[in-house]
Amino acid sequence: MTIEPAGGTPAPLPPGAADISAGQLEGMFQQRLAEAFAALGCFNLAVFGKTGVGKSTLVNAIFGRDVALTGLGRPVTKGLVYYRHPDGFLGLYDSEGFETGTAGDAIVDGLRRLVGEYRQGSVDLQIHAAWYLVRWSDRRFESAQEQFVRELAGLGLPVIVVMTQVPTRDGQVHPDAREFAEYIEGLGLPIRAGGRVVLTNARMDEFSGSPVSGLQDLLDATYDVVPEAVAGALTAAQVLDIGRKKARVATIINQAVAVAAGIGATPIPFADAALLVPNQVTMIARITAAYGLPPNRSKAFAAAGAVVLTGGATMAGRYAVTSLLKFVPGGMVAGSAISAAVAGTLTKAVGLAWSRVCEHALGLTPEGRDQFFNSPQVTERFLSYLKEAKRSR
């Protein structure tokens, strides 16, 4: 028989599928994980602005990583370097040491060529959003800067103008920054975010006590301009808006539950509970990718993933079957078969438990974060979360 995994191609099951070997499962896990990350694609952001305006700091605050430090830089044109983060789903065009005037002209010329190239197929490098940064304390916006923004927009790039290092007190923006933003807005530039300048402060300023602000606003404005095809990559890459990650994961779990219910529509003999596992492996892989867990953060993590999703998924499947089953009303059909409802419930429990493992790995759970994940720890977490899923039913 074949099982349709959520969002993937039908996976042939070996004969006597109730006993998928650990080796087969490990291979399946690696393949599904690779597929899930490939399906995310890559979100490419271009960041422009004068030296010291706060480009790196802002990117760091929203994506939680110094892409320029961790990525492999590739000069694409004079003054513009493209970094692909090793995780694969985030790319950054950084205009290091950017100055307006002739240097700006050279960048625009380079970009024109680039945009032409990716229109011809290298979609992978397409710029999905462009931030133009202005530091509030500069208090002036030169005509060369204005010209540059117009040219970027003229190339078809969705440009968001961002004011950086903006001080606020009690939620109130410094009046001079507000006035400066209004001046820029008054120029009628062809910019996104509804023509607004987005005001941000990416780092708490110890001296003035100005808190971090405006980052969610900038992220929301960025989502608004990003094509649906790379929204998943943006969701995986950003570390600011956990709600968006959770919402994506909820969709993935629901899809897997629907597939599981389909598998259980013809009640499965109790002993064949492992029939549910390939779909669960796909779901787990997609959840992992959706959260933006580094696919290869470390050898320890990769090994842990393999253990959980080989031994773990099987264990989870069996554990769940033996211990969850009796809690599902009407779960048992003819005494020893798994119904659609039960198949769905089991899959949901596995999905929720794995989500929590991911959140734990990212430091989003009250327990904090294990920097150095090892396999037994992950397995233990997974099973304890699974038990809680059972209790909370």
Ligand X SMILES: Nc1nc2c(ncn2[C@@H]2O[C@H](COP(=O)(O)OP(=O)(O)OP(=O)(O)O)[C@@H](O)[C@H]2O)c(=O)[nH]1
- What residues make contact with ligand X under the rule CB under 6 A? 49, 51-57, 96-97, 164-165, 201-203, 205
In angstroms, give the least distance from the CB of 16 to ligand X: 58
Q: Which does 75 bind (CB under 5 to 8 A by kind): ligand X, Mg ion, none?
A: none
- Closest to ligand X by CB, 145 or 201: 201
Q: Which does 5 bind (CB under 5 to 8 A by kind): Mg ion, ligand X, none?
A: none
Q: Which does 388 bind (CB under 5 to 8 A by kind): Mg ion, ligand X, none?
A: none
- Closest to ligand X by CB, 50 or 390: 50
- Closest to ligand X by CB, 51 or 216: 51
Q: Which does 54 bind (CB under 5 to 8 A by kind): ligand X, Mg ion, none?
A: ligand X
In angstroms, give the least distance from the CB of 54 to ligand X: 3
**Distance of CA 22 to CAs 9, 274, 279, 287, 339, Å?**
21, 12, 16, 21, 25
In angstroms, give the least distance from the CB of 80 to Mg ion: 12
- Closest to ligand X by CB, 24 or 57: 57
Q: How many residues bind Mg ion (CB under 5 A)?
A: 2
- Closest to ligand X by CB, 196 or 203: 203
Residues of span 38-77 touching Mg ion by CB under 5 A: 55-56
In angstroms, give the least distance from the CB of 78 to ligand X: 15
**Alpha carbon distance 164, 177 (integer Å):** 10
Q: Which does 52 bind (CB under 5 to 8 A by kind): ligand X, Mg ion, none?
A: ligand X
Structure tokens at 194: 């509804």
Q: Which does 203 bind (CB under 5 to 8 A by kind): Mg ion, ligand X, none?
A: ligand X
Q: Which does 317 bind (CB under 5 to 8 A by kind): Mg ion, ligand X, none?
A: none
Residues of span 284-343 touching Mg ion by CB under 5 A: none
Structure tokens at 293: 């867990």
- Closest to ligand X by CB, 54 or 158: 54
Q: What is the 3-state secondary structure (H, E, C) of the chain?
A: CEECCCCCCCEECCCCCCCCCHHHHHHHHHHHHHHHHHHHCCEEEEEEECCCCCHHHHHHHHHCCCHHHHCEEEEEECCEEEEECCCCCEEEEECCCCCCCHHHHHHHHHHHHHHHHHHCCCHHHCCCEEEEEEEHHHCCCCHHHHHHHHHHHHCCCCEEEEEECCCEECCEECHHHHHHHHHHHCCCCCCCHHHCEEECECCCCCCCCCCCECHHHHHHHHHHHCCHHHHHHHHHHCCCCHHHHHHHHHHHHHHHHHHHHHHCCCCEEHHHHHHHHHHHHHHHHHHHHHHCCCCCCCHHHHHHHHHHHHHHHHHHHHHHHHHHHHHCCCCEECCCEECHHHHHHHHHHHHHHHHHHHHHHCCCCCCCCCCCCCHHHHHHHHHHHHHHHHHCC
Comparing every residue's Cβ against ligand X, the nearest one is 54
- Closest to Mg ion by CB, 38 or 69: 69
In angstroms, give the least distance from the CB of 56 to Mg ion: 3
- Closest to ligand X by CB, 164 or 282: 164
| Phi, psi at 254, each rounded to 5° | -60, -40
Please say whether the beta carbons of 337 and 267 come within 8 A: yes
- Closest to Mg ion by CB, 31 or 57: 57
With binding defined as CB under 5 A, does residue 126 bind Mg ion? Answer: no
- Closest to ligand X by CB, 36 or 152: 152
**At a CB cut-off of 8 Å and minimum separation 6, what does 6 contact?**
252, 255, 256, 258, 259, 279, 282, 283, 286
In angstroms, give the least distance from the CB of 151 to ligand X: 19
With binding defined as CB under 5 A, does residue 279 bind Mg ion? Answer: no
In angstroms, give the least distance from the CB of 66 to ligand X: 10
In angstroms, give the least distance from the CB of 42 to ligand X: 21
In angstroms, give the least distance from the CB of 207 to ligand X: 9
In angstroms, give the least distance from the CB of 242 to ligand X: 21
Q: What residues line the site for Mg ion (CB under 5 A)? A: 55-56
